[in-house]
Structure 1
Amino acid sequence: MEHQPDPTSTPDELLIRDPLTGSYTRGLLEPRLTEELARAEREISPLVVCHFDLDGFRDYNLEQGPEAGDQVLRDATQWTYQSIRSSDLLFRSGGDEFVLVLPSTTREQAMVVCQRILERFAQGPVSISMGVASYPEDGDDTLTLLLVAQKRQQEARSRGTGQFVTHEQGESPRIYFNTQMKPVEREEQFSALEAFLGALPEHRQGVLLLDSEPGSGRTFFLRKAAMLAQQQNYLVLPLMYSGTPEGTQTLAETQVLQGLLDEVEHAAKTGLLVLYDAAVAVPPQVLGQVLTEHDNSRALGIIAVGEPDAAPAVSLSQVISLPPFTVQGLHRWVRDVFHWDAPLSFIELLHESTEGFPGRAEQHLKSMLAQGKLQYTGGTWTVQPEA
């Protein structure tokens, strides 16, 4: 979608928009990026920062004059806006320097965007060099991502004009096991979750139990459930059941529960959703205590690790199981985590040793990384042969 600066901007808006290019000003970069990072963490979604500047702009400005230089800066902004979405953010961070923030974008998706921008600049008198930093792979805070993107922009320029760099040569990318945008082989379970959240306001009380083995992805499911519930305007409270009364957070106190439900009403929330993660099944009495203190005036739902016979007697009750991955599912999961199309023989051995459970596969792969059996060389991952 093409963005156009507003020609009727008021003086107050000049503090937000750069008066020459119409892009956001440098002063807004860090606060807005911090906001977007907080959103990405909350929604378990990726984010990319691109730093770029114009190759040879100083010489061009001296040779052609400042008016021609200003026009190139305006064109640079327009070409960039023509290449990105309306949700993406462009900042002018220096004389001929820009920073582009791409929410909900992976490194691979950003490469497509960068190539599209480079092609736009091919029609102009100067090219650009771009550096790309990805959340969470390259860092999880504003300063780190900006520094990484700037460092890679300098690397891109050193390789020649009109290029972009997404990682340094020989660099091993960071690996995050719980940031997949699309859950693998869990479509049926998430459809059931959406139906549960949709029916909860009518039933006022509801319980959804995860009846699955450790390592099946229960924590990941609960994190995604929290994100989905927040998107549907629920107030979400994540709790941990440790298996011992003194180590368990509960909502048995009427005053605490009532305070949360009052917040639901005052903030016009859809309802309150309590999430119980646990290494063992949450006992029915713990779940029952929460429901007993609820006055039914506002919707209250519980999603917990539990067994089918642990479900309290409520009108909305569901049980979901999380089966292990198939070989094909495990292959997809490894590709999403490592951005690597692993050999099928490796995936089959991994599936055999872990029985397809993602939690076990995560521990197995972490062990291989620590022992140097899985290494990043030549821009890809390789499995080292046994000595």
Structure 2
Amino acid sequence: MKKGNILNLIKYHVERNENAFRNEAIEIAHHFDRMGDTQLAEYIMGQIAAANLYVPQASDFESIYLKNIDVKNLESLNLPVEVTNDIKGIINAVTHNIGINRFLFEGSPGTGKTEAAKHVARLLDRSLFYVNFDNLVDSKLGQTNKNIVTVFSEINTIPYPEKTVILFDEIDVIALDRINSNDVREMGRVTSAILREFDRLADLNNEIVIIATTNLYKNLDRALSRRFDAVINFNRYGKEDLVEIAELYFSSYAKSFKNITKDTRLVRKILNTATQLPNPGELKNMIKTSLAFSDVDNSFDYLRRLYKNTMNTQEITDTVLHSQGFTVREIEKLTGEAKSTVARKLKGENK
């Protein structure tokens, strides 16, 4: 415990700031608990309760830098088997309390890193907070460093750290490679501050689970990467994975559109015909927009839109569709032409 803790208690008491007083007292209790004086820590927490100062749950904590995320009602997480197994490994490691509690999720945008972090918190039955970089990064020289010190101090005051997950989403925003010649000196100092605070957090609080995500793993400072116990690569989607995920999205969203004729088999065929499919995040939007913008008077129009989006083309011709293995009936659905017209065109082209 430092002199600052005592001064803060006096200050908050004079200001009648009950929440700040309570949080400061809790931080002092955590300090004594970490020092091994559990009896004094329990006494302080008991006095807080006796004084009718509400002892909050982890989810009650929030500040300008730390925002709580609801993890109760999440969409299903569709990940490749390899990544799913890694997520199970995280749950296993944290549950068994073997000192592995810092994880870096790296991969291209839309690969499910942030959603996976939410599911980790849900499966661990922990509150999830994300670090709000909008408030953390400041244009004033040196202010971002001060804000970083503040946010890590707040992390250390969260009630029930053993019930908390902290998410640094897209940590590359504030942790660029310090050796990169394109990096500005100020951001290099910011990265150094983060490294220092990460080390301090390890000494003061080893119960909180830290998850960071990055789309720019190669540009991330190597010293920071080494602060994590495990790096999970999310760039492991095969085409079969993406087709299966797209089918699940289609089945889920198609329920909301009464004007369409659901044809999952043809949706799957379109997806399999595409040379390359985007990551799940973009794939989800592709399915949703194909359905949402479809012609209400054409129950198969969503198929035409999905084909154009996946093939990255604005033109659909009977000849190309036929060469790709689509049947006359399927071409009719994709082009909106009558079956007899499609058959006549193909017959003429084959002469």
TM interval, shorter chain, is 0.3 to 0.5
Looking at secondary structure, tell me which structure has more strand per residue.
1
| Structure whose CA Rg is larger | 2
Q: Which has the higher helix share?
A: 2
Please give the TM-score of this superposition, normalised by the length of structure 2. 0.45
